[in-house]
Amino acid sequence: MTAGIPRTTQLAKGQLTNAQLRTTNTHFSGELAMYLLNEALALERMTDRRQRAVQEERLRQVAVARRVAAARRLQRRAESASRRARALLALV
């Protein structure tokens, strides 16, 4: 840098030089690799949990639908039996 005239190639704060970029270690350390692996596994488990929750909700809805259908069948049978009983009582 000459007296009072800034160089045009001056780097901004935090910016790396070409030499630094060439020598920078771009490989993950073992600790960082394990951290990233654990994060990926956690995300996978969360997806599995969501899928399991959706499946359990579907099974719950199917069970409720079956119980409602059974209750309706029983109600129709009871109404039919009640009509037959009233018809027999009317004959007596």
Q: What is the residue type of 63?
A: A
Residue that wins the pLDDT comparison between 69 and 19: 69
Model pLDDT for residues 50-86, shown as the tens digit of each residue: 888 888 999 999 999 999 999 999 999 999 999 999 9
Q: Considering the domain boundaries, does residue 14 fall inside one?
A: no
Q: What is the mean pLDDT of residues 13-24?
A: 69
Q: Considering the domain boundaries, does residue 46 fall inside one?
A: yes
Q: Considering the domain boundaries, does residue 54 fall inside one?
A: yes
Q: What is the structure's pLDDT at 42?
A: 86
d(CA 63, CA 28): 50
The reported pTM is 0.46
Q: Considering the domain boundaries, does residue 11 fall inside one?
A: no
Contact 36, 28 (CB under 8 A): yes
Specify the number of domains making up the chain. Answer: 1
Q: What is the structure's pLDDT at 15?
A: 72
DSSP 7: -
Q: Considering the domain boundaries, does residue 21 fall inside one?
A: no
Q: What are phi and psi of 29, to 5 degrees?
A: -75, 165
Q: Which domain holds residue 83?
A: 30-91
| Structure token pair of residue 20 | 């630094």
Q: Considering the domain boundaries, does residue 82 fall inside one?
A: yes
Q: Considering the domain boundaries, does residue 16 fall inside one?
A: no
d(CA 35, CA 43): 12
